[in-house]
């Protein structure tokens, strides 16, 4: 079934660890996004990509990095996790020229 | 850049009554206004959207209205039901390849 998948669903790690959050979509979408969601609700765009080898920083400054080597894959990496990185991370995708976003189920990250 | 304000942040409504959530945007060039619903523990999903060439759009119990002059748009839910309880996000963009700017969200609770 065409969808957007995120793994892991939950992640608890210690400070200083390097982590990669995975996001893959099987819908053939060219645009992909990473949002950080506060516990209180608000969605903040932290990275986006309009195609392979294209990545841009979003509106909210983030210490994370992303890569887009394949159309369907858009992983997010934190080199050294800190408690301030504790949040939910939502991946999304859309098809070129259309604005509807399809979201993944999210990764709830807790850094101790 | 675009700025979207959303009110109220929380809203409690008796089951069967109507709910209204309002958003204002800053960039007069914005022409696409979607609404997303996020149920507890689930991913945001598009429920309705409107473009600037239309003043109102309806889909069963939900409707969105747009006032381009005043730069605000609203979500109306009639005959509310328990399954309408969720966080609702408005958003705005200039369409095409432009990014969506989200509002801060409204937590709607339907009281049985």
Note the pLDDT tens digit of each residue in A30-40. 999 999 998 76
What are the start-end ranges of the E strands in A38-99? 43-51, 54-57, 65-66, 76-78, 87-94
Residue of B nearest to A60 (CA): B101
Query: Minimal CA–CA distance to B43: which of A26, A103, A91, A88?
Result: A103
pLDDT at residue B82 tops 90: yes
The answer to whether B69 contacts chain A (CB < 8 Å) is no
Of B46, B101, B107, the CB nearest to A101: B46
**Quick check: bond before A24 cis, omega within 30?**
no
Read off the pLDDT of each residue in A65-91 and give the average, rounded to a whole number: 96
The answer to whether B2 contacts chain A (CB < 8 Å) is no
Asked if the Cβ–Cβ distance from A41 to B45 is below 8 Å, we say no
pLDDT at residue A97 tops 70: no
How many contacts, defined by CB atoms under 8 Å, are there between A and B?
50
> Could you give the percent of chain A with pLDDT greater than 90?
82
State residue A52's pLDDT score: 95
State residue A41's pLDDT score: 85
pLDDT at residue B95 tops 90: no
Of A43, A58, A99, the CB nearest to B32: A99
Q: What is the pLDDT of residues A7-48, one digit of tens each?
A: 999 999 999 999 999 999 999 999 999 999 987 688 999 999
- CB within 8 Å of chain B, chain A residues 32-91: 33, 40-43, 45, 48, 50, 58-59, 90
Of A45, A105, A106, the CB nearest to B99: A45
**Are A72 and A64 a contacting pair, CB within 8 Å?**
no
- CA B48 to chain A, closest CA, distance in angstroms equals 10
Contacting residues of B for A9, CB less than 8 Å apart: none
Of B43, B96, B99, the CB nearest to A90: B43
Least confident of A57-61, B13-17, B94-98: B94-98
Residue B82, SS3? Answer: helix
Q: What is the pLDDT of residues B22-58, one digit of tens each?
A: 999 999 999 999 999 999 989 999 999 999 888 999 9
Average pLDDT, chain B: 94
Q: Which residues are paired to B111 by β-bridges?
A: B14
């Amino acid at each position: 079934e065409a969808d957007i998948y995120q793994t892991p669903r939950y992640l608890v790690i210690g400070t200083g660890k390097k982590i990669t959050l995975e996001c893959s979509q099987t819908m053939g979408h060219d645009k992909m996004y990473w949002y950080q969601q506060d516990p209180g609700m608000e969605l903040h765009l932290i990275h986006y990509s309009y195609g392979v080898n294209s990545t841009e920083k979003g509106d909210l400054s983030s210490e994370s990095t992303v890569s887009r080597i394949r159309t369907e894959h858009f992983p997010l990496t934190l080199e050294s996790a800190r408690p301030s990185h504790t949040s939910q991370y939502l991946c999304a995708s859309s098809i070129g020229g259309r604005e509807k976003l399809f979201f993944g189920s999210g990764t709830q990250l807790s850094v101790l | 850049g675009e700025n979207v304000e959303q009110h109220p942040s929380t809203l409690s409504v008796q089951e069967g009554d109507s709910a209204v959530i309002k958003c204002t945007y800053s960039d007069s060039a914005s022409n696409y206004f979607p609404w997303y619903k996020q149920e507890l523990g689930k991913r945001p999903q598009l429920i309705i959207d409107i473009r600037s060439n239309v003043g109102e759009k309806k889909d069963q119990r939900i409707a969105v209205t747009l006032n381009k002059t005043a730069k605000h748009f609203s979500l109306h839910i009639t005959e509310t039901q328990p399954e309408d309880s969720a966080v609702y996000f408005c958003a705005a963009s200039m369409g095409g390849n432009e990014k969506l700017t989200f509002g801060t969200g409204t937590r709607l609770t339907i009281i049985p």
